[in-house]
Amino acid sequence: MRISCLTAIVAAAAGLAQTPAPGAATEFEVASVRPQKPVSLDPFRPESVVAGLPLMRGGPGTATPGRIRYSNVTLMGLIVKAYEVYSDQVQGPGWLTEDPYAIDAIVPPGATLEQFRQMLRNLLVKRFKLAVQWEEKDFKVYRLLIASDGPKLQESAVVEPGGDNEDPLMARVGAMKAPLDSRGCPVLPPTSRNAIGRNNCMTFVGFSIPDLVWRLEMLVGTETGAHSSAHIIDATGLTGRFDFKLDYDHGYHVMMNMPSVPPNIIRSSNTISIFKAVEEQLGLRLEPVTSKLKVMVIQHVERTPTEN
């Protein structure tokens, strides 16, 4: 495949951006990578559904920074994590989203998030023989801006991210145990970063704007019927951490975009759009624009990882 001058420049820039500082760790101390058998999901057995969910525990910024334990994670999930892209920015074989893998690795002490991503990238290259080239493509994106009336976010007492709420089962248990306020929203301790949803209300504590963007990308992607998370660019200029609530029925919009669900049985007392909820409740707004984003074109990747 021929690469244009623009593509070559993009590839070079991507390589420079991913080059670690001299002396920085670029490999996991120990890493086990093994294929897993797909879990047969039974929607009537919650434990079956949870058992089949991809779990990505640990790493820098979590409660266990020195070790990662991943299960049921696809190669697409690893690529998304390692290269900070979404699945619609990856061109490769269909099985990237099918085969589950388990990864258990030791992260060197003091590793930063960028060093951790470099370790994941090196693992993909060594164990799966991943070879890629980079191009650019126009995408519909959303700019997150401050609304005309200003932000409605409360400054948080949380300084460090802390916690590790990447386990959906634990998040569900936490949501059921959390006390409720007069609106029916979960009440969380103001001392550590966390997010829990219940009764169509999501409570966020200690969230930075990048944290919020990550959540909004999923919510917008679901509501708009996108095949992956939406692309959102933070243009608010806001720094620090915030506490806030979002009264929004995510489940309603999930069902609205499921072709197998008859429209006449979908009911909700809260059908507000995420766009309106963000503007009215958070004092922010999402503006659609077109922007060029990088696209990974996979030239080679192996389905079975090399031996541990």
Query: How high is the pLDDT of residue 73?
Result: 95
List the single range of 15-24, 208-217, 275-284, 293-302 with lowest mean pLDDT. 15-24
Supply the mean pLDDT for the chain: 84
> Model-level pTM?
0.74
**Is the model more confident about 49 or about 120?**
120
d(CA 24, CA 110) in angstroms, rounded, equals: 10
The percentage of the chain sitting over the pLDDT mark of 90, rounded to a whole number, equals: 58
Query: How high is the pLDDT of residue 4?
Result: 38
d(CA 245, CA 202) in angstroms, rounded, equals: 6
Q: How do residues 51-66 score in pLDDT, each as one tens digit?
A: 567 889 999 988 799 9
Query: How high is the pLDDT of residue 175?
Result: 56
Q: Using a CB cutoff of 8 Å and minimum separation of 24, what contacts does 10-13 make?
A: 10/134, 10/135, 10/136, 10/294, 11/133, 11/134
Cα end-to-end distance, the chain, whole Å: 32
Structure letter (DSSP) for residue 301: -
What are the residue ranges spanned by the domains of the chain?
A: 5-137+295-300, 151-282
**Is the model more confident about 216 or about 159?**
216
Structure letter (DSSP) for residue 186: B
Tokens of residue 255, six digits: 């069902």
Query: Residue 9 — pLDDT band, cuts 50, 70, 90?
Result: very low
Query: How high is the pLDDT of residue 22?
Result: 52
168 has pLDDT over 60: no
Report, as an integer, the average pLDDT of 227-253: 91
Query: How high is the pLDDT of residue 34?
Result: 95
d(CA 243, CA 152) in angstroms, rounded, equals: 10
Helical (H) or strand (E) element with 50: helix 46-51
Query: Residue 176 — pLDDT band, cuts 50, 70, 90?
Result: low
78 has pLDDT over 50: yes
Burial 70-96 (b: 16+ CB within 10 A, else e): bbbbbbbbbbbbbbebbbbbbebeeeb
Length of the chain: 308
Query: How high is the pLDDT of residue 48?
Result: 44
